[in-house]
Structure 1
Amino acid sequence: MSSPDGGRPITATEAARRWDPWTPSVVAARLATCPAPWAVAGGWALDLFAGSISRAHDDIEITVPRGDFLFVADAFPEYEWDVVGDGKLWSYSLAATHPDLHQTWLRDPFTGAFHLDVFREPHDGDTWICRRDPTITLPYTELIHTTDNGIPYLIPEVVLLFKAKANRPKDASDFHRVLPLLPEYRRARLNSWLTQLHPDHPWVAATRAPAVGSSSTE
């Protein structure tokens, strides 16, 4: 990945020390009037889908169309933003337009703590485009579901598709916890995407078998 000038290295140790993540409910309250189609991503999204918290979360991630990021930023006028990637950190003004960088961390300018990670994702109007394979697309109305108390989250098959690349222990744990909860059509869609992006991944076989007690509706 090419990198813009002006970034400084940030280690995983430093990032872990500075992260003080908010909860989905706190983020949702701050974004209650945001007109952009945003949603909780990552492990928190799977917890919202499952209806229970599975583990401690070191951060919190949300996704928003790249062209709509400023709607999110407007909801946090007292904070600052850093762009993160390739082990480096840039101020938002230096790297916002770089096409290979999408992670954007909200920072308290007084304490230096990070509270929120915003993924600025490719899109075509109201259609989400997967940054790892542009042939994978979904309308935002299908990409995002909402909990009973109004917190939007990414559908689980999209979250698991992105988790498959790293397949860390926590990702594997998330996968095996959520897999039995997926209706057949979601398993089939995840299987299709995994076959396309990661054909040798162990999750391909696991998603091919029908879920016990699964159905085509939720």
Structure 2
Amino acid sequence: MRKDYENWSPLSVAETACLFTSIPVSWGIAGGWALDLHIGKQIRDHADIDIVTAQQDLPALYSHLSQDWLLYKAAGGKLEIWREGDSLEAINNIWASRNPEAPFRFQILVVEFEGGEWLYKRNKEIKSRNIMLNNKQGIPYLRPEIQLLYKGGSSQLRQKDSWDFQTVFPFLTAAEKDWLAAALIKQFPDGHPWVDFI
């Protein structure tokens, strides 16, 4: 079992797009890079690169990626090799490297859909039918209000997440700001610092 969690040499956005465009699954850039793609420039350094995909696409994803990549299921602070035939229900986070010693190159975050709607796992009353946008180069990325919900809805609000929120907020439309505020209120009925700012 690998424990070198900081051993990262992430693919670039262009390299990631080239790899995933060749795979017949729904996908998009997530994390801090998604926010960068939304505003059209990089706003800070990133230690990794995240891709979001739907749970129903996991079989096709495994079929294509396992030929060239070693895939790890990340759960409970542990990394275990994803083997063909493993239950897909428990797979929410996947890390990829070329071999057991090579650095990790990308991370896949698995999201759930029901009836064509994305479900927010921390509060399944929060849903959306359209979670992706495309930049000018056609690279899909997670909508900024949804990415910020993932950041703001975490059990621990990190400094970089607050930085991302403050930086990206002026680039959100009124509808995106309203959606984010409503989602945060639904998840945190007793209050959230970002709601007061919005």
TM-score, normalized by length of structure 2? 0.90
Q: Secondary structure at the match of 1:93?
A: coil
Match of 1:160 in 2: 148
Task: Work out the percentage of aligned pairs sharing the same amino acid.
Answer: 28
Aligned position for 2:175: 185
CA, structure 1 residues 53+162, in 2 after alignment: closer, same or farther (shift >3 Å)? same
- TM-fit CA distance, 1:101: 4.4
Kindly state the Cα deviation for residue 60 of structure 1 after the two structures are TM-superposed: 0.6
Equivalent positions of 1:142-153 (< 5 A) are 142-153=130-141
1:125 CA displacement: 5.3
Give the match's secondary structure for 1:56: coil
Contact 1:30 1:75 in 2 (8 A): no
Shift of 1:95: 9.4
- Are the structure 2 counterparts of residues 100 and 79 from structure 1 closer, same or farther at C-alpha, using a change threshold of 3 Å? closer
| Aligned residue runs from structure 1 range 5-154, under 5 A | 8=1, 10=3, 14-16=4-6, 18-76=7-65, 77-93=67-83, 96-97=86-87, 99-109=89-99, 111-124=101-114, 126-139=116-129, 142-154=130-142
Equivalent residues, number: 194
Partner Cα distance (1:73, 1:95) in 2: 10
CA RMSD of aligned residues (A): 2.0
**Separation in 2, partners of 1:95, 1:162:** 29
Say which of 174, 198, 208 aligns to 2:164. Answer: 174
SS in 2 for 1:179: helix
Residue type of the alignment partner of 2:195:
V
Query: What secondary structure is seen at the aligned counterpart in 2 of 1:54?
Result: coil
Distance 1:125-1:31 versus aligned 2 partners, 3 A rule: farther
SS in 1 for 2:95: strand
- Check whether the contact 1:104–1:118 (CA below 8 A) recurs between aligned residues: yes
Query: What SS does the corresponding residue of 2:36 show, helix, strand or coil?
Result: helix
Q: Distance in 1 between matches of 2:24 and 2:102?
A: 28
**TM-superposed deviation, 1:64:** 0.5
Unaligned runs of 5+ in 2: none
Aligned-partner Cα distance in 2 for 1:74–1:151: 22
- The one-letter code matched in structure 2 to 1:122 is E
Correspondence for 2:197: 206
SS in 1 for 2:52: strand
Q: Secondary structure at the match of 2:136?
A: coil
The whole-number CA distance in structure 2 between the counterparts of 1:63 and 1:78 is: 19
Question: Counterpart of 1:210?
Answer: none
Structure 1 residue 37: Cα displacement = 1.7
